[in-house]
Structure 1
C-alpha cells in the first residue's frame, strides 16, 4: 500500500493530468511552506516578495524537471540558458536561504512525480521549523548590537569609553576604526551586548558627554552575522 502511495505519478510518457497534478501539488506545498515562514518569522520581519517566491519556486522547479525528463540534451540546454541569468541581490538571512533550498527540494520531488514524498518532506521540515521557532532555539537572551561612535582625532579611542561600556554592557569589542573628514574625526564600531533592563537613553547620553556630542548610532536590531566578542 505504501509503495503505491509513494510511487511516482510520472510515467515515461508525460501526460496532461500528471503535469497539472505535479504543478498544483507544488503550488499547494509552496503555499504551506510560505505560511509556516510567515508564522515563524513574523516577529523578526520578512519581505512580502520573498513569501511569494516561496510559493512560486516549487512550481517553477517542478516545471523544469517535467520539461527535462530523462532527456540529457534538454538538461544541458536548460543549464546553458540558466547560466546566462545573473542574480544581483544583497546576501540574505541564513534562515531565508534554508527555506529556498527547502522549496527547491519540494519542487524537485513534485517534478519527478513523488508528490507523497514531497508532502512528507514538507510536513517534517515545517514541523521542525515551528518547533525551533517556539523554543527560540539558539537565540541569545540579549541582542547582539552595533554601536558607532564618532570622536575627535585628539581623543584616545582605545580606552576612552571602557568605563561606560563596562557599566552598561555584558561584552564588547572594537570591530572597526576608520577616519573621516580628512582625519579630523574617527568612527569606532563596537560589537556589544547590553545588560538586561538598562536605560538606553542614559547609556547614549553618557557616551555623548564623552565624545563631545558628535554622532552616535546604536543598531538595536538583531545582527545575524557572526560577531566575535
Structure 2
C-alpha cells in the first residue's frame, strides 16, 4: 500500500505535450492582454501605472508556467507551496482595485495552466465587464479650506465660514500664536458647488477682513495620495 501511494505521488506528474504547453501559454497571453486592456481603461490619471499593468500580464504567464510544472503531481504541489511560502512581498498596494487585478491575473494563470480555458474565458469576460463599468467609480473629492490671518480675525473668520457653508464646514485644525491664527476646514464637493453659485467667492469675502493673510483650498483624493 505504501509503495503504491509513493508511486502515485512521484510518477503521476501529469506531464503535458509540447503542443499543450504552448497552447496554455497562448491562452494565458490572450487573457493577459484582456487584463491589460481592462486595467488601462479603468485606471486613469495619476492612478494608472504602466509598469504595474505589464506586471499583471507577466504574473499571468508566470502562474501558468508554475501550474504547468505542477500538473497533477501532489508531491510537487506540496513542495511548491512550501517553497513559495517563504517569499515575502514588500510592494505596497496603493489602490484597493489593484488587489483585484492581481487575483484576477493569478486566477487566469491557474486556469490556463490546468487547461480550464472555459472557466478562464467566461470568468474573465464577467470580470472585464464588471471592472470596466464600475472601475470608473472614484471616491468623492475632499477639500480643505486653509485660512491664515492675524489673531484678532478669528471670530470674523469663524462667522463667515459658518454663514457661507451653512454651518456644515468641519473644523479640523485651529493653530494659534500670540499674533496669528490658522484654520483648516473640511469641505465636501457639494458644499464647494453650492458656494460657487454665489456672487462672491469665499476668498473675496475673507480678504475683506483686515489682517487676513492667506486663503487656500486644497483638494484631497486617491490620485494625489498615490
Q: Which has the larger radius of gyration?
A: 2
Task: Tell me which residue corresponds to 2:5.
Answer: none
Confirm whether residue 149 of structure 1 aligns to residue 146 of structure 2. Answer: yes
Q: 193, 198, 215: which is aligned to 1:196?
A: 193
Does structure 2 retain, via aligned residues, the 8 Å contact 1:144–1:191?
A: no
| In 1, Cα distance between equivalents of 2:112 and 2:96 | 25
Q: TM-score, normalised by structure 2?
A: 0.67
| In 1, Cα distance between equivalents of 2:89 and 2:25 | 25
| In 2, Cα distance between equivalents of 1:223 and 1:168 | 26
What runs of 5+ residues in structure 1 fail to find an aligned partner? Answer: 1-10
Alignment size in residue pairs = 206
What secondary structure does 1:90 align onto?
A: coil
| In 1, Cα distance between equivalents of 2:65 and 2:124 | 18
Q: TM-score, normalised by structure 1?
A: 0.66
Q: 173, 193, 204: which is aligned to 2:170?
A: 173
Task: Tell me which residue corresponds to 1:218.
Answer: 218
| In 1, Cα distance between equivalents of 2:42 and 2:160 | 39
Q: Tell me: CA distance 1:170–1:154, structure 2 relative to 1, closer, same or farther (3 Å).
A: closer
Task: Tell me which residue corresponds to 1:6.
Answer: none
Task: Tell me which residue corresponds to 1:30.
Answer: 32
- Map Cα deviations across residues 122-171 of structure 1 (whole Å, 9 max, x no partner): 112212223335xx66x57xx42141637579589899446436635995
| In 1, Cα distance between equivalents of 2:152 and 2:93 | 36
Does structure 2 retain, via aligned residues, the 8 Å contact 1:62–1:109?
A: yes
- Map Cα deviations across residues 77-128 of structure 1 (whole Å, 9 max, x no partner): 3333333333223332122222222222211111111012211111122122
| In 2, Cα distance between equivalents of 1:93 and 1:216 | 27
Give the C-alpha shift of residue 25 in structure 1. 0.9
Q: Tell me: CA distance 1:155–1:101, structure 2 relative to 1, closer, same or farther (3 Å).
A: farther
Q: Tell me: CA distance 1:62–1:208, structure 2 relative to 1, closer, same or farther (3 Å).
A: farther
Does structure 2 retain, via aligned residues, the 8 Å contact 1:157–1:188?
A: no
